[in-house]
Structure 1
Amino acid sequence: MKRFTVALLAIGVIACTSKDSNHKNTNLQKETDAETPVGMVFIPGGTFVMGNEGEEATAIEGPEFAVELSGFYMDETEVTNTQFQKFVDATGYKTVAERPVDWEDLKKQLPAGVEKPADSLLQPGSLIFAPIPNVTNLYDISQWWAWQIGTDWKHPYGPGSDIVGKGNHPVVHMAHEDAEAYAKWAGKRLPTEAEWEYASRAGSQLPFAWGEELTPAGQFLANFFQGTFPGGNSKQDGFEKSAPVKSYPPNAYGLYDMIGNVWEWTSDWYRPDSHLQSKKKAITICRNPTGPESSYDPREPQVPKRVIKGGSFLCSDQYCSNYRPSARMATAIDSGQEHLGFRCVISVKD
């Protein structure tokens, strides 16, 4: 399980048309003129240029290619602690971070020859942001990520923490299957990467949905890291960690926190060349892409990963400026982290 990897180690073919199995919600499909589900907004279908080939973009954000999407509904906010609590109360669900650790499963994702740690270390937990003093190497994430036993969505900063008074904060320490379980219970699904990016752009092809600058006229429009990363957060935006949902203005579609706050899961498997393969396969335009059929990250080829989008309260221009709609990262499907959550969508019936 990738959720242990940092601690233990010191710290295909693209589908350019949607698959029915991925997009049908038989109980909750809506006509475009039907009433919008509570807590969601309607995202009208349309076309856009996905990806980014600009100077600020990373290699995996390109190349740009044309995408056409059908309309859908999307949660106006990230799923909150209160919403997830209702799911747990109704189902008794236990997240990945709360379950016993299976060493046989874990070692499949580790380099050959890694010895089994003591059973006292193979306990449920997750990754928390805990930077060491005087970080000198911004390529060594073990200097600010720490495996903490007893950490989960109810204890987001370690076993001594809780979510009292934080019901309207996004739920975090979500593995991909946790997000999928909630979505299924709610009669929804996770968005594709294309849907997520399209909704985040809200009709704009600018670097940010609101314009060219991250902080126009010094105004903070999203929750991200200010100061010296990782240990010197100046909190100019008012928040050191996650912010309550709706703390910032929505985009033109009425969606909140599509940039910053917490990373959000998508349904797409991760490959660094996803955009290139989509562009090659599409003759003129890629319709309702659902991403690769399998995962591959050359840095960790044994670890299955999905795409996450949006950046988080830890994104900084000094290290991880991934708060653009086009930005994308790979995360192991069983990884729970302090800055990782999700939101859901519902397909619109044709």
Structure 2
Amino acid sequence: MKFIPKLLFLLSIIFFITQCKEEKKEVPEAKISAEITEKSEVVVDTADILVKKPDNLKTPKGMVWIPGGIFTQGAVPQDQTAMGHEKPAHKVAVDGFFMDITEVTNREFKEFVEETGYVTVAEREIDWEEMKKQLPEGTPKPHDSIMQPGSLTFKKAKSSVPNLYDFSQWWQWTIGANWKHPNGPESSIKGKDNHPVVQVAYEDAVAYCEWAGRRLPTEAEWERAARGNKESTIYFWGDDLSVLSQMANTWEGEFPVNNTLIDGFELRALVKSYPPNDFNLYDIAGNVWEWTSDWYNTDYYSEIGSKGAILRNPKGAETPYNERDPYAKEKVMKGGSFLCSESYCASYRISSRMATSLDSSLEHLGFRTVATADMLLGKEN
């Protein structure tokens, strides 16, 4: 599964024109860094892995220390819903770091925007000259009524959907949708300061991080934090799926037709609405997906597994690659959202990982930040 970038929705009206004009192109090879150690150090001695918080560092407000250590990243053996790109599981070493207790909220993002004047991707005018570089030569420009700032929003289907790979059945391009109006121009975040901010593209999340003196987590850091002290369970609370509605904001019922609201929410929930994991992190499963800094590469786990080495602080694949869309440049997102159901993606599992386009801003995608000891010590010097 992958999420469709806004480009595809904007140009859906000219699909039949472009498909007859598109020239055949050589599909790029699946690549990750051949020299994996260029970005990730191979563990030889684990004695110097940073486990405990340095005594000379104070925990930043709203964050918690995630102890470092070696853990198994990827699908656990008993997970019958795990996808191929979650396998094989492999050992990873991660130095300790600080992580936001919750996803970045509307209030926090608003403070950033007011202080900097930042304009998110979904609010910007669409640059046709830039967009057409990604399209077959000769693709006609869509009508100006379509080429308006906006983003992707969810819509329920009226009847059962036999093909859950056709995402256009429940996603729609909505002019005027952005972080202040997450479900369209008539929606609002008024009174929702403590809801997770959404409709933020990758560059928006990075801009916030730079302002806050933080960064996005790597996929390995995110998974280490989510797993807590549960070394080999499917979910952050264990293996018992029957308590899902008590532990996470997800879709219950027939997706995408009927949400039974057993967990109390149809869309996004107030942060801290559900119990935290072992490290006191809230909404690490469900509610909204979270950006990581890693490129998505279908073959990354299989390549790492074949190396047989324990990588320290891995930063993911050297280059992006999605076997379903070889030209896509996507990042890994983690955690699942309020749209995840047992029949659809079940991505409230710790090992679940999905790809999403850099330009995608969606009503169920947000982020949280991390800070390392080195980053904070550098501030003090």
TM-score between both structures, scaled by the size of structure 1: 0.92
Kindly state the Cα deviation for residue 263 of structure 1 after the two structures are TM-superposed. Answer: 0.3
Residues 96 and 178 in structure 1, CA contact (< 8 A), matched pair in contact too: yes
For 1:42-101, what per-residue CA distance to the aligned partner results, in whole angstroms no more than 9, with x for missing partners? 001001010115422001101111000000000000000000000000000000000011
Comparing 206-215 with 154-163, greater Cα deviation is found at 206-215
Question: Relative to structure 1, is the Cα distance of residues 117 and 134 closer, same or farther in structure 2, using a 3 angstrom cutoff?
Answer: same
Question: Relative to structure 1, is the Cα distance of residues 336 and 234 closer, same or farther in structure 2, using a 3 angstrom cutoff?
Answer: same
Kindly state the Cα deviation for residue 259 of structure 1 after the two structures are TM-superposed. Answer: 0.3
SS of the residue corresponding to residue 220 of structure 1 reads helix
Kindly state the Cα deviation for residue 279 of structure 1 after the two structures are TM-superposed. Answer: 2.4
Q: Distance in 2 between matches of 1:320 and 1:113?
A: 37
Residues 40 and 311 in structure 2, CA contact (< 8 A), matched pair in contact too: no
Residue matched to 2:102: 77
Opposite residue 307 of structure 1, the aligned amino acid is V
Opposite residue 39 of structure 1, the aligned amino acid is G
Does 2:277 match 1:251?
yes
Opposite residue 239 of structure 2, the aligned amino acid is E
Residue matched to 1:4: 7
Residue matched to 2:299: 273
Residue matched to 1:25: none
SS of the residue corresponding to residue 239 of structure 1 reads coil
- Give the structure with the higher percent helix: 2
Residues 17 and 289 in structure 1, CA contact (< 8 A), matched pair in contact too: no
Residues 109 and 302 in structure 1, CA contact (< 8 A), matched pair in contact too: no
Question: Relative to structure 1, is the Cα distance of residues 119 and 57 closer, same or farther in structure 2, using a 3 angstrom cutoff?
Answer: same
Question: Relative to structure 1, is the Cα distance of residues 112 and 194 closer, same or farther in structure 2, using a 3 angstrom cutoff?
Answer: farther
Q: Distance in 2 between matches of 1:342 and 1:134?
A: 32
Residue matched to 2:240: 213
Residues 40 and 312 in structure 2, CA contact (< 8 A), matched pair in contact too: no
Note the 1:83-98 alignment, pairs <5 A. 83-98=108-123
Opposite residue 250 of structure 2, the aligned amino acid is F
Question: Relative to structure 1, is the Cα distance of residues 144 and 7 closer, same or farther in structure 2, using a 3 angstrom cutoff?
Answer: farther
Question: Relative to structure 1, is the Cα distance of residues 262 and 333 closer, same or farther in structure 2, using a 3 angstrom cutoff?
Answer: same
Q: 2:73 aligns with which of 50, 62, 75?
A: 50
Residues 224 and 260 in structure 1, CA contact (< 8 A), matched pair in contact too: yes
The structure with the larger Rg is 2
For 1:260-294, what per-residue CA distance to the aligned partner results, in whole angstroms no more than 9, with x for missing partners? 0000000000101111222234x431111000122
Q: Distance in 2 between matches of 1:219 and 1:335?
A: 28
Residue matched to 2:61: 38
Note the 1:126-275 alignment, pairs <5 A. 126-136=151-161, 137-204=163-230, 205-216=232-243, 220-275=246-301
Gaps of 5+ in 1: 21-29
Opposite residue 54 of structure 2, the aligned amino acid is T
Q: Distance in 2 between matches of 1:146 and 1:135?
A: 18
Q: How many residues align?
A: 339
Residues 81 and 168 in structure 1, CA contact (< 8 A), matched pair in contact too: yes
Residues 307 and 330 in structure 1, CA contact (< 8 A), matched pair in contact too: yes
Q: Distance in 2 between matches of 1:101 and 1:124?
A: 6
Kindly state the Cα deviation for residue 133 of structure 1 after the two structures are TM-superposed. Answer: 1.4
Q: Distance in 1 between matches of 2:89 and 2:136?
A: 35
- Aligned-residue sequence identity (percent) comes to 52
For 1:219-247, what per-residue CA distance to the aligned partner results, in whole angstroms no more than 9, with x for missing partners? 51010001111020111100000000000
Give every structure 1 segment of 4 or more consecutive aligned residues whose post-TM-superposition deviation is greater than 6 Å.
none
Does 2:339 match 1:299?
no
Residues 109 and 303 in structure 1, CA contact (< 8 A), matched pair in contact too: no
Residues 5 and 110 in structure 1, CA contact (< 8 A), matched pair in contact too: no
Residue matched to 1:24: none
Residues 215 and 221 in structure 1, CA contact (< 8 A), matched pair in contact too: no
